[in-house]
């Protein structure tokens, strides 16, 4: 039976800690509005994480510039015909398209950033499927990684978010240019990463949506936008709530009772 809850009531760092300590194997599905994420664990260690649909297959390696489309096609064809290999990672290494070290480096950097972005979610539904494993076409890391460092870095970023959130309460805030930039905006020089964020500001997209479009973590986009706000270049406003057919805002889901947290902990430990 799947374990279901909300990270608003049971924090992501707490969940990862229990998965690590319990050597759990399975898939963690996270959903928040239009956003989703999928994490796979093998005996408590992380083997894969995806924040977008096209990241849940070998297409991710093409998008990261690690494989050509032709190489991916060849690897998939061999995966379908070679019963000795069980996943795409083994095929890629076996055909010497990438070394184990290069593949690990590319996937780990991307996967870690994907997970760090999840620590910025104030809420979101989760479902943990015990024993679920990635599909064969999923480019899992050759060497699973411990979630301890992920938790430490995620918590550190939450601490930094404490400073940032004085001006940017959440990644659901819409970023827009100010009408009259202040004196601080004069002579501002932007780094390449800052230009990527700057170019996506349109007064409609939230920080989370900008992060998804330019493939940066929500933490990094928040840090950059915080600098823009401080420099007097932009402002952040609340995203309008969706309306019902009658024109009234959709009511928020009531909070789950705290007693549910204890039940979730006991369920994870008992799986």
Give the structural domain span for 216.
165-237
The owner of tokens 């998939």 is 76
Higher pLDDT, 88 or 245: 88
| 174 and 90 within one domain | no
19 and 117, same domain (yes or no): yes
> Is residue 206 scored above 60 in pLDDT?
yes
Give domain status of residue 248, yes or no. Answer: no
State whether 96 and 155 are in the same domain. yes
Give the separation between CA 89 and CA 100, rounded to whole angstroms: 9
Give a yes or no: residue 247 inside a domain.
no
User: Would residue 128 count as lying in a domain?
Assistant: yes
Is 152 found in the same domain as 259? yes
> Is residue 215 included in any domain, yes or no?
yes
Structural domain count of the chain: 2
- Given a contact cutoff of 8 angstroms between Cβ atoms, the answer to whether 232 and 182 are in contact is yes
Distance CA 242, CA 136 (A): 38
Using one digit for the tens of pLDDT, what is the confidence trace for 7-45? Answer: 888 888 888 888 888 899 999 999 998 889 999 999 999
141, part of any domain: yes
> Do residues 92 and 25 share a domain?
yes
Residues 220 and 153 reside in one and the same domain = no
Residue carrying structure tokens 């510039």: 65
Counting residues of the chain whose pLDDT is more than 90, the rounded percentage is 40
Would 117 be classed as within a structural domain? yes
174 domain residue, yes or no:
yes
Angle formed at CA 96 by CA 92 and CA 98, multiple of 5 degrees: 65
Helix (H) or strand (E) holding 101: helix 100-118
CATH number at residue 225: 1.10.10.10
Rounded percentage of the chain residues whose pLDDT exceeds 70: 84
Res 261: pLDDT: 61
Q: For residue 236, list its beta bridge partners.
A: 175
Q: Is 188 found in the same domain as 232?
A: yes
In this predicted structure, what is the pLDDT of residue 187?
Answer: 62
Would you give the DSSP letter of residue 216? -
46 and 137 share one domain: yes
CA distance linking residue 152 with residue 56, whole number of Å: 25
Please tell me what DSSP assigns to residue 23: T
- Stronger pLDDT, 261 or 173, i.e. the higher one: 173
Query: Do 76 and 169 share a domain, yes or no?
Result: no
Say yes or no: 42 and 91 in one domain: yes
Q: What whole-number distance in Å separates Cα of residue 215 and Cα of residue 229?
A: 21
What is the pLDDT, as a whole number, of residue 95? 93
Q: Does residue 15 form part of some domain? A: yes
Same domain? For 185 and 112 the reply is: no
Assess whether 114 and 180 both reside in one domain. no
């Amino acid at each position: 039976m799947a374990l279901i809850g909300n990270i608003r009531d049971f924090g992501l760092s707490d969940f990862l800690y229990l998965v690590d300590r319990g050597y759990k194997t399975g898939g963690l599905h996270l959903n928040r509005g239009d956003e989703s994420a999928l994490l796979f664990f093998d005996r408590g260690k992380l083997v894969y994480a995806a924040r977008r649909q096209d990241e849940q297959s070998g297409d991710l390696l093409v998008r990261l510039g690690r494989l050509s489309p032709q190489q991916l096609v060849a690897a998939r064809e061999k995966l379908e015909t070679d019963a000795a290999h069980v996943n795409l990672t083994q095929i890629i290494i076996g055909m010497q398209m990438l070394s184990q070290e290069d593949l690990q480096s590319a996937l780990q950097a991307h996967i870690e950033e994907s997970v760090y972005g999840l620590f910025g979610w104030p809420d979101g539904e989760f479902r943990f499927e015990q024993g679920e494993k990635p599909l064969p076409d999923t480019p899992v890391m050759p060497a699973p990684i411990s979630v301890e460092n992920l938790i430490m870095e995620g918590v550190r970023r939450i601490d930094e978010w404490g400073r940032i959130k004085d001006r940017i309460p959440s990644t659901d805030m819409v970023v827009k240019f100010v009408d009259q930039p202040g004196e601080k905006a004069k002579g501002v020089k932007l780094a390449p990463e800052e230009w990527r964020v700057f170019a996506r500001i349109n007064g409609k997209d939230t920080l989370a949506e900008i992060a998804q479009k330019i493939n940066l973590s929500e933490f990094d986009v928040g840090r950059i936008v915080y600098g823009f706000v401080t420099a007097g270049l932009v402002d952040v406003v609340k995203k309008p709530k969706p309306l019902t057919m009658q024109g009234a805002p959709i009511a928020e889901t009531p909070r789950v009772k705290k007693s549910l947290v204890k039940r979730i902990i006991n369920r994870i430990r008992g799986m």
